[in-house]
A and B are shown apart, each in its own frame.
Chain A
Amino acid sequence: MEIALFLYPVGFLRKMPKTKVQKKKKTRSNATAETMAAGQRDISVSEFFAKNRHLLGFDNPRKAMLTAIKEAVDNALDACEEGGILPHIFVRVLQISESRFKLMIRDNGPGIVRAQIENIFGKLLYGSKFHRLKMSRGQQGIGISAAGMYGLMTTGKPVVIISKIGKKKPAHEVVLKMDTSKNRPTVISDEEHPEDDKFFEDGHGTQVEIELEGKYQKGRQSIDEYLEQTAIANPHAHITYVTPANETIEYPRAIEELPEEPKEIKPHPKGIELGTLIQMLERTKQRQLGGFLTKDFCRVGSTKAREITKGAGMTGQTWIKTVGHDEAEKLYESIQKTRIISPNTDCLVPIGSKALLAGLLKELKAEFFAASTRPPNVYRGNPFQIEVAIGYGGGLGRDDSAKVLRFANRVPLLYSQSSCCSFKAVAETSWKNYGLTQPKNSIPSGPLVVMIHMASVWVPFTSESKEAIADYDEIRKEMKLALQECGRKLGTYLRRRKRMARESERRSVFERYIGEISRCCHALVGADTDKLYKALMKQAKRRTDEADNQLDDEGNLLDDGGRLGNDDDVIIVDNLQDIPEQEETLFGNSTKKKKVKKKSKKTRGKK
């Protein structure tokens, strides 16, 4: 398991003494520099976070419990993927007393070697993800150690970790306590189980047990919601969840394939600022400009390097040493003018339209699904990719406003919705064009679920607790484009559905009155009721049939029974009852798609 290192605390630590000075000023105790110096001392990172736990998402008992589970599950998924294992995560929330819970999270990942256990679980700022440009869930998370610390603080109970790294290896059960003042783990007990223990079905994995003060509540921003959304964004994972009420909820796997392993990348020249460029020039191991450009950046070959250096009035042979501030500025300008292809996409692993649809299909009872994956783009030199999927109609709530599911690197974001870039993108998209109602400056209303996923080597969160994506123009633009693409598909679907409803209504109106008319004519002139009824029905069918044909020939907009039907990124579910049996795999979907197409043709024929 990997624990991400934390970048910001350094800044906070620097600020600490200042706040103290201000406090003293307020009380007007007339302290001198000497007396103040007596109170000024080092503060450990762990201590700082023990006091400022809201920064990590442990503000209240309910959120704290969710954050603890979230950190553990995110780490478990990361570990499984890195180990090339299809994840099976087991989550159990056990209620001990009214406000005390015992959380247990178990994965089938590669396990952790004995020597690392206490460092990973008992020490903040320990890990390998610092300064690395690679897509992962725990990019700036505090990791499970913060959760363990919270548990220790609220209940005094240590964290229990069991890990096994292979069938032939023994499992280790370690009980850990954290020394907050020294940021050092204390091992309370360490037990080695025999090799043939039955802790892990697959022979390897890690299990964490944390006792903490919490509050369990269903509904929005609950553990249930988090796991449900995790299952949507990670259709390759199998999640088993035992609730405090001792119910077992299974989120089965929808795809039997691991996502590709993301690659680490170098920065893209378009994304860096002048200051960063100067810093890179100072730090580079290269001696000449050409080597610097091709080796320290991605997407720059010798041709591009020549183009850039030429544009700045230099050559590839220019010595780095001779590049001063003015030259760097010229170089920076030249980079902006040069066309450079977007960063490698293989550093990003999008969920993919198919998997997105599979995930949504599994958890939503909607009748229309569409997905769209944007090509990768760059913000501040970091490649990112936006994916959007929507579900509409069916069993979704009709009266409320649409639901926005936000994900960053496959992790559901549950808090601070309105300050999130993705939420703003949904509100800014004009859904009225696609046949939905939308209050001004707000998200649309109706039976709609919008899922937005941002995959990036570095997701810009607005705060340390990873709740909302920061509002970058490039990101919002990509989100809107993806939303519009899905919206257009929804619009065509809704228009077609409306049209078909109108036609069938028209037919039913005629059919209703034909009986009355036949009876009247029979009474008036003795015409044969049945014969007349059949003749009129034949005409009614012919007439609505004509209208159907017009609908097909009327051009692109309405002629999308076929177009939507051929679209791989769209799934239309005609009969919602079919879902439970058919939803297991992607193959189920494709057969369904075919069925839908046939069905719509059939109904058309009936008309």
Chain B
Amino acid sequence: MAKKKTTKKKTSKKMSKKTATKTKGRVVDKKRDAVTKKKIEDLASIIVKRSLGQKEPTFEIPTRSVSNMKYNKKKRILEMGSNTQTRSLFNLGQSRKFMQSLLLAKGCRDLIDAEKTLSLRGMYYMALHTIPGTKERTFNDQGESDGILEDLEVSLDGLREELHVFAKKRGTMVGNITVVDNGDEINCRKMGTGGYAIPSICEPNIMQFKECSASFILHVEKDTVWSRFNEDRFWETHNCILTEGSGQPPRGVRRMLHRMHKELKLPVYCLLDCDPWGHYIYSVIKQGSINLAFESERMAIPDAKFMGIRSKDYDRLDLSDDVKIELNDRDITRAKQIAAYPWFEGKREWQREIKTMLNNGFKMEVESLITKDISYVTEEYVPARLKEGDFLD
């Protein structure tokens, strides 16, 4: 199934370059939109046909859970299995979701027709209304509509971008690269202290790379650390691109990293906290996430490397006791869970890393290096790791 999808996507990508035109200050991909629109209308047609034939109206959704996810050892990414679940109107637990799916499908179709895009929150408002004759609202909160949209993506085999929906912007970038975003040229060397906000949609029809002289990408966990690097002009001194994903990186950031890695052949290094959550961020960047396994092919970076913080850094760098944050029960369970994931299972160094952390009984944040010196991380830690080539794979 995943294979099929990729071939489809490649063709659509090729086509998109040819047919992309700019109207009303926005790049519109008419061919791609027509395909998505057809998919939505097909879904509705089947439901209508089944209903009129007195059959139960249903549609299939590929299951998005650990059980329906496989680790492709060859490609080193997570892929979605072939399990699907049936969503039917006449099932009390699914009835409401069925109705919501159709409402959002209609919303997406309307967006395509209007040649506009909306945020996830915008979609929520677009499909939100009180069901006539009742006091029930179609959605209780945005979370409900976000989940349905992800279902819709997988069942229509169309990406969120193709449905004209984007997420809230999160993540910043700065470095020796110039990109073209929706026709506007952006020089990431001149982004001041704030940096360039990585958009939610980084598809080739909207985002192109114009020029790049950087030799690698350094991805850090959060904004605070990123600011330290930016202020120290790390990207200038080490000729790199500096990105940040505000915790678990959103799809835009992951897509951007993936494209820069693939198209510009830049290695990706990650500087994350030494805790299970940092480890999982790395896992998502490298293999893809369980929830969005269907997008791994276009987001995962199997060659990404984990630079730190390492559990051995406490001893190696002779850090003070104050930086220790005790592991709680949740951390310990999560760490054990991560260690058991198939893509971590066979990696001896990772097993040792997690074991050391558990033996230490504490976690550390990237900021803990500030106890050594304000710019220790930019002037000593990262350069030393780069020089040694000491990374976890």
Contact = CB atoms under 8 A, between A and B. Distances in A.
A520 B104 CA distance: 9
A536 B99 contact: no
Interface stretch (B89-97, B266-274, B308-316): B89-97
Contacts of A532: 48, 51-52
A543 B51 CA distance: 13
B131 interface: yes
B317 to A, nearest CB: 59
Contact of A510 (B41, B48, B95): B95
B41 A525 contact: yes
A513 B132 contact: no
A512 to B, nearest CB: 6
B51 A536 contact: yes
A220 interface: no
B54 interface: yes
A523 B56 CA distance: 20
Interface in A470-529: 506, 509-510, 512-517, 520-521, 523-525, 527
Nearest to B56: A539
Contacts of A516: 99, 102-103, 131, 138
Nearest to A514: B89
Given A516-B102, A516-B131, A535-B52, A521 B90 contact: no
A524 B134 contact: no
Interface in A95-114: none
A131 interface: no
A525 B48 contact: yes
A602 interface: no
B105 A517 contact: no
Contact of B98 (A517, A523, A531): A517
A520 B103 contact: yes
Nearest to B42: A525
A516 to B, nearest CB: 5
A276 to B, nearest CB: 67
A524 B41 contact: yes
Contacts of A524: 40-41, 44, 102, 105-106, 109
A535 B51 contact: yes
B137 to A, nearest CB: 11
A538 interface: yes
A159 to B, nearest CB: 65
Contact of A539 (B40, B44, B90, B131): B90
A510 B56 CA distance: 12
A540 interface: yes
B12 interface: no
Contact of B57 (A525, A531, A536): A536
Contacts of A539: 51, 54, 56, 90
B132 A517 contact: no
Interface in B129-144: 131-134, 136, 138
A513 B89 contact: yes
A506 B54 contact: no
A513 B48 contact: no
A184 B110 CA distance: 102
Interface string A593-604: 000000000000
Nearest to A502: B92
Nearest to B37: A524
A397 to B, nearest CB: 27
B72 interface: no
B45 interface: yes
Given A524-B40, A536-B51, A536-B57, A517 B102 contact: yes
B87 to A, nearest CB: 12
Interface bracket on A: 20 to 34
B165 interface: no
Interface string A410-451: 000000000000000000000000000000000000000000
B47 interface: yes
Contacts of B136: 512
A536 B98 CA distance: 13
Contact of A538 (B44, B54, B95, B99): B54
Best-buried of A514, A521, A538 by chain B (most CB within 10 Å): A521
A531 B89 contact: no
Nearest to A519: B106
Contact of B105 (A512, A520, A536): A520
A520 B89 CA distance: 14
A513 B47 CA distance: 14
B89 to A, nearest CB: 7
Contacts of B54: 535, 538-539
A295 B338 CA distance: 91
Contacts of B56: 539
Given A510-B89, A513-B99, A539-B56, A521 B44 contact: yes
Contacts of A525: 41, 44-45, 48
A563 to B, nearest CB: 28
A529 to B, nearest CB: 11
B44 A520 contact: yes
Nearest to A542: B54
Contacts of A531: 52
Given A524-B109, A527-B48, A535-B54, A517 B89 contact: yes
B131 A521 contact: no
Interface string B275-314: 0000000000000000000000000000000000000000
A299 to B, nearest CB: 60
B99 A517 contact: yes
A520 B98 CA distance: 11
A509 B91 CA distance: 10
Nearest to B106: A520
Interface string B48-77: 100110101100000000000000000000
B96 A513 contact: yes
Nearest to A543: B90
Contacts of A543: 90
A509 B96 contact: yes
A355 to B, nearest CB: 45
Contacts of A509: 92, 95-96
B47 A521 contact: yes
A530 to B, nearest CB: 12
A511 to B, nearest CB: 9
A515 B89 CA distance: 12
A516 B99 CA distance: 7
B90 to A, nearest CB: 5
Given A524-B41, A525-B48, A535-B54, A513 B106 contact: no
Interface in A520-575: 520-521, 523-525, 527, 531-532, 535-536, 538-540, 543
Contacts of B47: 517, 521
Contact of B92 (A506, A514, A538): A506
A540 B88 CA distance: 12
A532 B56 CA distance: 13
A535 B89 CA distance: 13
A525 B52 CA distance: 14
Contacts of B132: 515
Contacts of B48: 521, 525, 527, 532
A540 B51 CA distance: 11
Contacts of A540: 90
A513 B105 contact: no
Contacts of B109: 523-524
Interface of A: 506, 509-510, 512-517, 520-521, 523-525, 527, 531-532, 535-536, 538-540, 543
Given A512-B134, A531-B52, A532-B51, 4 more contacts: A509-B96, A520-B102, A521-B44, A523-B109
17 contacts: A506-B92, A509-B92, A509-B96, A510-B90, A510-B95, A512-B133, A513-B131, A517-B89, A517-B98, A520-B99, A524-B106, A525-B44, A525-B48, A532-B48, A535-B54, A536-B57, A539-B51
Interface of B: 40-41, 44-45, 47-48, 51-52, 54, 56-57, 89-90, 92, 95-96, 98-99, 102-103, 105-106, 109-110, 131-134, 136, 138
3 closest A-B pairs by CB: A524-B44, A513-B99, A520-B102
